[in-house]
Amino acid sequence: MRADDDRTVYLEDYRPTDFVLETVELIFELGENLTTVGSEMRFYRRGGADQSAPLVLDGDSLALSGLALDGKPLLPERYEQKHDKLIIHDLPTDEPFTLTVKTRIKPAENTQLLGLYRTNGIYSTQCEAEGFRRISYFYDRPDVLAVYTVTIIADKATSPLLLSNGNLVEQKELEDGRHMAKWHDPFPKPAYLFALVAGDLGMIEDKFTTMSRRDVTLRLFVEHGKEGRAGYAMNSLKRAMKWDEERFGREYDLDIFMIVAVSDFNMGAMENKGLNIFNDRLILADPETATDDDYGRIEAVVAHEYFHNWTGNRITCRDWFQLSLKEGLTVYREHEFSADQRSRSVIRVEEVKFLRAHQFPEDSGPLAHPVRPTQYLEIDNFYTTTVYEKGSEVSRMIATILGQDNFRKGLDLYFERHDGGAVTIEDYLKCFEDATGRDLSHFALWYHQAGTPEITASSEYDEKVGRLSLTLSQSTPSTPGQKEKKPLHIPLRTGFIGPNGDDMEPSSVSGGERRDDVLHLTKEHQTFVFEGLGARPAVSLNRDFSAPVKIEYDLPKEDLVRIAQHESDLVARWDAVNTLALNTLAAATRACQSGETIPVDPALTDTLTGFAEDDALEPAFKALALTLPSELDIGRRIGQDIDPDAIHLARNTVRDAVAKAGHKAFSALSVSPAEDAPFSADAESAGKRALRNIALSYLAAANGDATPAKEAYDRATNMTDRIAALRILAHQFTGAAETKAALEDYRERFAREPLVLDKWFTTQATIAGPDALERVQNLMSDTAFDIGNPNRVRALVGAFASSNPSGFNRPDGAAYSFFANFILTSDKRNPTLTARLMTAMRSFSALEKTRREKALIELERIASHDDLSRNLRDIIDRMLK
């Protein structure tokens, strides 16, 4: 039974609207304390719909100041305002009609950063998912697509720039120093893709000629004075436009494409039609202020938002349960773009690391949900790594199962069949089935079943006949609301590595489908039998991480080492080293807890030294392979009764042992081959910097001397090297005079650069140990800290809670209590941000008993407040269920 006050939304309740909205004309008169919004909407009643049904429009925190039907004011008995809805009765049955709604809003008071808000002198909007209803009463749902015409009126001196979606059709001066601009977007769109920006910004401009030789004007708006940092984003945009034409045949459709960078933004960026709005940290970059990772993220996110023009905007979601239809697919397209722009295996390893660090824990904790959920209380809380990254993996698996050419055929059909539509995951899958004839009904379970599948593998080799039997069993753990799970269709790329390191190819396979190197695991238990293998191979399962699963496979250590050294698939090589390292680190943690001496497996130190010395490997890959799993990775591997202090000690011990064993190699790598060369952000140069910096951190560990890192800091000519040196100092030489000096220098050097100071906040927030809390509290009173800015909050409080396991989980629970207080305050200001921050504690039940109990007390304290936002209420209740 559903209670009356239950605001949960269920997929099964979906039905189309009673009225069809064709066009909307909006007029904004902008004022920071009072903005008026006029909305003129042309509707008609849908054929077949209930002919007496009222029109029910969504609203949120609006003041209604006018309401008219076909130009005549509506009498109070014709409408009601209930639970934020505007309900209008007795509307025409056959004739179209025009409804005019006037609302008043206060952009400067909007600290939620949803709807229309004004910060730093800029008006901007964020309407996904349900922000438009904070601007005007509307059919605020993705399946209502209308053509928009938008007039913006504002003071010309403070807002010389007036932008909205589509094409500029009129612009003129008005009285009293005001001016107006009128925009028209010919493409019907849902309200979540609406955008408006007004203010005074700098701009860079470029152009792109599309494959059908149309010229598109490209404009990128940033804070005055920051134009010099916008070039890389512009360049990324042009590469993304070209790539989408070449790889997927997708051409841009308007004459202008604009990006605006704002400094107060809840998320990364937003794909509003023709007018993307970005968190400025994902636009601004130059060598002195941005790291190589920043450059990589900018390239990826600029491309991601651009790719949405087809996957999301031209074809959108029928309802928010289908969110992964646009997000999963767009992340997959973004990943493929990055792989083509950079080194494919390096990009793939980074994706695997991200998935394991973020999506797997989500999928195994209290917030687990399917890629396509069936219910939600607050849709904002479903912009998750499951919907995004697991959704992307699901599209990747479709490509693996069908092959790239067939995947493209299916996607072509999708664009052709559904252009202009608002569709479902089923519609998407059907295109691949229809284009290729392959039945994906079993595969579709990936969208509906939550939890990370676990595969247990065992193998037997019969030397006499050269036969290998590989038995695979799969199961998926229970998740909230889904107790029983069915076996999935899992595509597993599998290699056989012979004793000399070469790939072996079996002469035949039985027990299941194998195409190319893909095994199709479809049953709960399945034994594949491979004939014609003249020697016992090391079995490399899940090459390229072809399926987002966990694999339990008791490979002999020499097989792991063989894979690490010889696999032709670099992702599998990385994974083998990573497994070797995790095995060692987990054993070291156990020893640490029982007070034994900490063992360090020479197989690990030898393999890592071998990597460090191998000149044939590309530097970026070497850097990844040499990076030990993080303390959080080790915790996840241990899984329960986690003691973060033991992990911290164990990891440092193993790191020091690796540093000593590879000392010679690391010394060689730490001297730069091209330190004085002019900076280039390309992937190859970035790889060299990454390798040099990881070598430097090992050297610092081996020598126990802060001097080389301080020298590297002083010498640095780019942010990658500077922050790498600062991190080594802060994390490995906390409290040293060199560290203090470098931290002060950085604070001073970037005093007027809030985005750059975020790295300074994060570096310090993630210093391990019991002093972290006090350090974070002190930093909160730094003048550069601003509780109203989501980037600052994430850089300091977010980083502390999510990336400082020993500091945040101090055994006395003081940090939990600090965090709970912060959450309660922050919730009043910005619920979207706060609910996301809260998820940092979602895995608290995996901690050892004392910490777990202390964490629980604080979580329950938060839950006991009866005035929480719906966002926070949803998260905390699910965490405590």
Q: Which residues bind ligand 0A1 (CB under 6 A)?
A: 126, 128, 266-271, 304-305, 327, 380, 383, 832
How many residues touch Zn ion under the rule CB under 5 A: the total is 2
Q: Reduced to 3 states, what is the DSSP secondary structure of residue 114?
A: coil
- Residue 267: which of Zn ion, ligand 0A1, none does it interact with, CB under 5 to 8 A by kind? ligand 0A1
Active site residue 305: yes
- Residue 645: which of Zn ion, ligand 0A1, none does it interact with, CB under 5 to 8 A by kind? none
CA distances from 118 to 36, 209, 828 (A): 14, 34, 18
- Residue 395: which of Zn ion, ligand 0A1, none does it interact with, CB under 5 to 8 A by kind? none
Binding mask 570-589 for Zn ion (x = CB under 5 A): --------------------
What the block records as the tokens of 635 is 């915790």
- By CB under 5 A, what part of segment 300-339 binds Zn ion? 327, 330
β-bridge pairing 316-317 and 97-105: unpaired
- Residue 832: which of Zn ion, ligand 0A1, none does it interact with, CB under 5 to 8 A by kind? ligand 0A1
Taking the complex as a whole, how short is the minimal distance between the CB of residue 279 and ligand 0A1, in angstroms? Answer: 9
Taking the complex as a whole, how short is the minimal distance between the CB of residue 308 and Zn ion, in angstroms? Answer: 6
How many angstroms separate the CA atoms of 176 and 120, rounded? 23
How many angstroms separate the CA atoms of 541 and 774, rounded? 46
Contact call for residues 659 and 698 (beta carbons, < 8 A):
yes
* Smaller CB separation from ligand 0A1, 388 or 443: 388
Taking the complex as a whole, how short is the minimal distance between the CB of residue 128 and Zn ion, in angstroms? Answer: 9
How many angstroms separate the CA atoms of 687 and 617, rounded? 11
What the block records as the tokens of 28 is 């904004």
What the block records as the tokens of 584 is 């060692």
- Count CA atoms closer than 13 A to 132's CA, side-chain side: 23
* CA–centroid distance for 473 within its chain: 31
* Smaller CB separation from Zn ion, 330 or 584: 330
Contact call for residues 475 and 491 (beta carbons, < 8 A):
no
**Among candidates 377, 405, 388, which has minimal Cα distance to 877?**
377
How many angstroms separate the CA atoms of 314 and 420, rounded? 5
Q: For the chain, first and last CA: distance in Å?
A: 19
Please give the backbone phi and psi of residue 162, each rounded to the nearest 5 degrees, phi first: -130, 110
* Smaller CB separation from ligand 0A1, 350 or 389: 389
Spell out a b/e string for 346-365, using b for 16 or more CB atoms within 10 Å of the CB, else e: bbbbbbbbebbbbbbbbbbb
Please spell the DSSP secondary structure of 577-638, one letter per residue: HHHHHHHHHHHHHHHHHTTPPPP--HHHHHHHHHHHH-TTS-HHHHHHHHSPPPHHHHHHHH
- Residue 126: which of ligand 0A1, Zn ion, none does it interact with, CB under 5 to 8 A by kind? ligand 0A1
- Residue 268: which of Zn ion, ligand 0A1, none does it interact with, CB under 5 to 8 A by kind? ligand 0A1
Taking the complex as a whole, how short is the minimal distance between the CB of residue 677 and Zn ion, in angstroms? Answer: 36
760 by Cβ neighbours in 10 Å (0-12 / 13-18 / 19+) ranks as buried
Taking the complex as a whole, how short is the minimal distance between the CB of residue 165 and Zn ion, in angstroms? Answer: 17
* Smaller CB separation from ligand 0A1, 278 or 746: 278
* Smaller CB separation from Zn ion, 272 or 494: 272
* Smaller CB separation from Zn ion, 142 or 453: 142
Contact call for residues 303 and 334 (beta carbons, < 8 A):
yes
How many angstroms separate the CA atoms of 27 and 152, rounded? 6
* Smaller CB separation from Zn ion, 330 or 449: 330
* Smaller CB separation from Zn ion, 322 or 330: 330
* Smaller CB separation from ligand 0A1, 151 or 330: 330
- Residue 851: which of Zn ion, ligand 0A1, none does it interact with, CB under 5 to 8 A by kind? none
CA distances from 261 to 522, 653, 792 (A): 46, 44, 16
- Residue 244: which of ligand 0A1, Zn ion, none does it interact with, CB under 5 to 8 A by kind? none
Taking the complex as a whole, how short is the minimal distance between the CB of residue 210 and Zn ion, in angstroms? Answer: 22
How many angstroms separate the CA atoms of 412 and 391, rounded? 19
Taking the complex as a whole, how short is the minimal distance between the CB of residue 115 and Zn ion, in angstroms? Answer: 19
- Residue 512: which of ligand 0A1, Zn ion, none does it interact with, CB under 5 to 8 A by kind? none
Taking the complex as a whole, how short is the minimal distance between the CB of residue 304 and ligand 0A1, in angstroms? Answer: 6
* CA–centroid distance for 373 within its chain: 18
CB atoms within 10 A of CB 643: 22
Q: C-alpha angle with apex 186: 181 to 188, nearest 5 degrees?
A: 115
Q: Which residue is nearest to ligand 0A1 (CB)?
A: 267
Taking the complex as a whole, how short is the minimal distance between the CB of residue 431 and ligand 0A1, in angstroms? Answer: 22
Catalytic residue among 32, 305, 334, 350: 305
What the block records as the tokens of 636 is 């996840």
Contact call for residues 35 and 59 (beta carbons, < 8 A):
no
Secondary-structure percent of the chain, ordered helix, strand, coil, rounded to 5:
45, 20, 35
* Smaller CB separation from ligand 0A1, 270 or 623: 270
* Smaller CB separation from Zn ion, 387 or 591: 387
- Residue 569: which of Zn ion, ligand 0A1, none does it interact with, CB under 5 to 8 A by kind? none
β-bridge pairing 79-82 and 375-376: unpaired
Taking the complex as a whole, how short is the minimal distance between the CB of residue 327 and Zn ion, in angstroms? Answer: 5
For residue 129, say if its preceding peptide bond is cis, omega within 30 degrees of 0.
yes
* Smaller CB separation from Zn ion, 304 or 759: 304
- Residue 532: which of ligand 0A1, Zn ion, none does it interact with, CB under 5 to 8 A by kind? none
Taking the complex as a whole, how short is the minimal distance between the CB of residue 238 and Zn ion, in angstroms? Answer: 20
How many angstroms separate the CA atoms of 60 and 134, rounded? 5
Taking the complex as a whole, how short is the minimal distance between the CB of residue 292 and Zn ion, in angstroms? Answer: 23
* Smaller CB separation from Zn ion, 327 or 351: 327
Taking the complex as a whole, how short is the minimal distance between the CB of residue 835 and ligand 0A1, in angstroms? Answer: 11
Q: Reduced to 3 states, what is the DSSP secondary structure of residue 104?
A: strand
Spell out a b/e string for 260-272, using b for 16 or more CB atoms within 10 Å of the CB, else e: bbbbbbbbebbbb
CA 111, 114, 120, 121 torsion: positive or negative?
Answer: negative
Point out the residues that are catalytic: 305
Residues lying near Zn ion in the complex (CB under 5 A) are found at 327, 330
